[in-house]
Structure 1
């Protein structure tokens, strides 16, 4: 509240107004650190655009290794995922603004992993509603979330820095939900814990474009980390693809043959789980089982060298836990 001019001299009153105006202008102009990265907005359908990160590990390409999408309507824009730094999210926002002057109304987060959520604050500061899957809190409330942020402040400095913050959602989805904006309807599909502690996929109804998040990796080896690969397989096997004309995965290029994109991730998970399941059943040490396996069908895929052995080891450990649980 600005003090009444009856209590302070007019020059002081004007000075205070000027200070407040300067402070507001500073907030408006404050932006993340600029980032020199190639990022092109690709149109998939009438309403849907996306940007595609390169195939690599988390800190490659200045952190631009994942995808994000924008659904443009007559009443605003819905963003799906926000990339791996505020700087990348700002570039994404600027790319969206080249095709529409509509405001960002909503952000849907397919899952809470660092390469998809560190850009959230850019859209949160614009007043967009943040929607996330149930299970997000298992990551966000864990020590791992803070540890990861501290590591990225080092490995992706200055684009992830002390100003980068973790953003909690405004709305949590735990069942299939319909969202409409500007005549465009979305089916938000809650997949439960699969690739992460909670995953969503988004079907843009009028365009029949499916935005899958990281339950599908196109043209590269998936990153499984600590994923529940049994649930992940179940989610893929139950994924309704009827009528889907294009698919935007969490990583890799958009697919015009969605069934092929789904089947490639399915094949990788099924085969790797099968090899590791046999090893666990026979009590074969991981290293021995890994070296004896034939990985030739996957070894030419991007990210194989950086990711696959860790994937296989994580799956081996999870299968041991599944066996104990069963």
Structure 2
């Protein structure tokens, strides 16, 4: 086993060029630019972009360029914008990525006093495609129609000099034709207007106890936007409640014989007993690669989150979170159906502070591998860990024969320290509760901006299979769907904050049309909104 401090940066460098597909938002201040004077005009442009990208592109109107700037580079909830030269001149170099300029018909000798820009951090593949679409708008009949309607001669690369615009002079008017008999006028091409999301009244509030549930991401660019997926009503899953006083800790157990760590489970009398293969109700196993297995939590069981394990030449490495004693016992039993090799290491993806009755009851002979933030969270609990712990800073790489396991410390996101587990040979990624499939998830300890950045990173890894914290083994499409839900939720909360709404008013008037059928909506959406409101207000509304 060797420690690596650079897996996150190494993977970013290797995979940053992979295309990412997600909903795009175009921000506009209608009274501060010479191109788009209304939401209707902005809709013509964004609908054209959407048709060329095969992606949803929405418009968001802002009252000031300063607010739009915050949504671009601070919140990262707007991807494209048009900003005036005067505002851009007041910002440090490199604050935005310049995409395109434009030339108005009434001023063909000079470019406009504003620029179409993109936020920093947008995928390079997407930047290049957007710029190409904008610069070639005049080559298509639909694009020319839109430019004519906006009184634009051409969209051009940023920074052109006046002498480079000479070829853009409008052609001379053709001689008047002979009068023709009257004919029916040709109906102009109508581009559908973008529909801004309207906040509807939310369903009757449901104050259920916090539970761990999981969510969904967006789909790769398809010919048409996918219909929302209907899922079964959420099952109540009990999230462990904080323990007010320490339970009695079992006496230190005798270490098992060499090679027996996996199968020996402590019993109530302090002795060890061999786990019976197959007799467990918490997990369904699915082999996702050679020697790599997903343990998907079953409805109504003791497991509230998915887990995984990988079988090496000499021993097994497993991982997960929210590990109650019963969940640990059942995972050990599930592993026993696959191999007799011992469990040597358990990768604890994260820990929720205040929950001392989970993540502590592992079999003797099993070492925990955790991020330093997770170690600190557990060290502050009222219980003490009686297992050896290996904790790491940025990342850690394990080798199990020909298999590589790359651990990346994502820092703050779902909790104070979340760990990704990546198997590069097979392209399998275990995200734990950073990604939920078709669920609103549990965000009670979440950090919204950091979580959104983590989702962008996860999407760019280009994994072939995802083992999420909740839901079935999935593809990158589900990461995108969950990221879309996450962005929509955070955007809605920010709108309430910018209007000056109180937390109570936000909870009463908040609505997310299209997500009401997600698992856990009734139990967790108010809790998630509360956390998002507090986190965003503390970090961005000062």
TM-score (norm 1): 0.75
Could you say which structure has the larger radius of gyration? 2
Partners of 1:177 and 1:187 in 2: CA distance: 6
The more displaced of 237-246 and 200-209 is 237-246
Partners of 2:298 and 2:525 in 1: CA distance: 17
Q: Residues 98 and 83 of structure 1: is their aligned pair in 2 closer, same or farther, counting only changes over 3 Å? A: farther
Partners of 1:254 and 1:167 in 2: CA distance: 33
Partners of 2:356 and 2:429 in 1: CA distance: 17
Q: Secondary structure at the match of 1:94?
A: helix
1:287 aligns with 2:504: yes
Q: Residues 104 and 37 of structure 1: is their aligned pair in 2 closer, same or farther, counting only changes over 3 Å? A: same
* 1:154-200 deviation digits (Å, cap 9, x = unpaired): xxxxxxxxxxx756661112113211112211111110111001011
Q: Indicate conservation of the 8 Å contact 2:412/2:451, yes or no.
A: yes
The one of 297, 300, 305 equivalent to 2:514 is: 297
Partners of 2:283 and 2:356 in 1: CA distance: 16
The more displaced of 191-200 and 291-300 is 291-300
* 1:17-40 deviation digits (Å, cap 9, x = unpaired): xxxxxxxx9622398xxx973532
* Unaligned segments of structure 1, at least 5 residues: 1-24, 56-60, 150-164
Aligned counterpart, 1:239: 458
The one of 485, 488, 491 equivalent to 1:268 is: 485
The more displaced of 304-313 and 70-79 is 70-79
Q: Secondary structure at the match of 1:262?
A: helix
1:28 aligns with 2:272: yes
The more displaced of 299-308 and 268-277 is 268-277
Partners of 1:82 and 1:117 in 2: CA distance: 12
Q: Secondary structure at the match of 2:284?
A: coil
Q: Residues 271 and 99 of structure 1: is their aligned pair in 2 closer, same or farther, counting only changes over 3 Å? A: same
1:205 aligns with 2:424: yes
The one of 355, 367, 391 equivalent to 1:129 is: 367
1:179 aligns with 2:423: no
Q: Residues 27 and 303 of structure 1: is their aligned pair in 2 closer, same or farther, counting only changes over 3 Å? A: same
The one of 335, 346, 350 equivalent to 1:96 is: 335
Aligned counterpart, 1:107: 346
The one of 447, 454, 473 equivalent to 1:254 is: 473
TM-superposed CA distance for 1:214, in Å, is 1.0
* Unaligned segments of structure 2, at least 5 residues: 1-268
Q: Indicate conservation of the 8 Å contact 1:54/1:252, yes or no.
A: no
1:43 aligns with 2:287: yes
TM-score (norm 2): 0.46
**Structure in which a larger fraction of residues adopt helix:** 1
The one of 313, 318, 321 equivalent to 2:535 is: 318
Aligned counterpart, 1:18: none
1:50-89 → structure 2 map (5 Å cutoff)? 50-54=294-298, 61-81=300-320, 83-89=322-328
TM-superposed CA distance for 1:307, in Å, is 0.5
Aligned counterpart, 2:433: 214
TM-superposed CA distance for 1:287, in Å, is 3.2
**Paired positions, count:** 271
Tell me how large the CA RMSD over aligned residues is: 2.8
TM-superposed CA distance for 1:113, in Å, is 3.1
Partners of 1:118 and 1:198 in 2: CA distance: 16
Partners of 1:278 and 1:82 in 2: CA distance: 33
